[in-house]
Amino acid sequence: MSVGSAMRTAGRSAREKAETMTHDMKERALEKRLDRAESEGERLRFENDLLRDEVTETRTEHRRILDLLESRLDDMTKMDDETNGKTSHKGRWLLFLMAVGGGAYYWFTRQRGGQEWTGGMNDVPTVTESGTTAL
């Protein structure tokens, strides 16, 4: 139902005035939507630019890190070539020390006859009447 058909009983000038007002209202609403869409588009372009800058910075940072790693690996291969393939085995040294310590522990427990140490945190020395301390 349009404004023109709703106003059949009104005069011609009133109908034209009402149609002009509805046309103006529709135009203003359309302009508002266009303005909102334009501001949203600007905001999205700005965010897109920020994200693009961040991605390029991240890529350059990744490239720099990869270059450093590659140079470090090249240095290590050069060092291996200079030392004729001899490398440090820190893990083997730790394993050797653990084996020696375990062997020593086993030997000492066998020498004591397999007795376990019974002292603990809850054992509090007490003083007897003779003045000596006992556990």
Do the beta carbons of residue 3 and residue 19 sit within 8 Å?
yes
Mean per-residue pLDDT, 125-133: 57
Do the beta carbons of residue 42 and residue 50 sit within 8 Å?
no
Confidence of residue 25 (pLDDT cuts 50, 70, 90): very high
Name which of 59, 81, 79 is nearest 71 in CA terms. 79
Instruction: Give residue-wise pLDDT tens across range 60-77.
Output: 999 999 888 888 888 877
Please tell me the predicted confidence (pLDDT) of residue 89.
73
pLDDT, greater one: 10 or 44: 44
Mean per-residue pLDDT, 45-59: 93
pLDDT, greater one: 120 or 89: 89
Do the beta carbons of residue 6 and residue 15 sit within 8 Å?
no
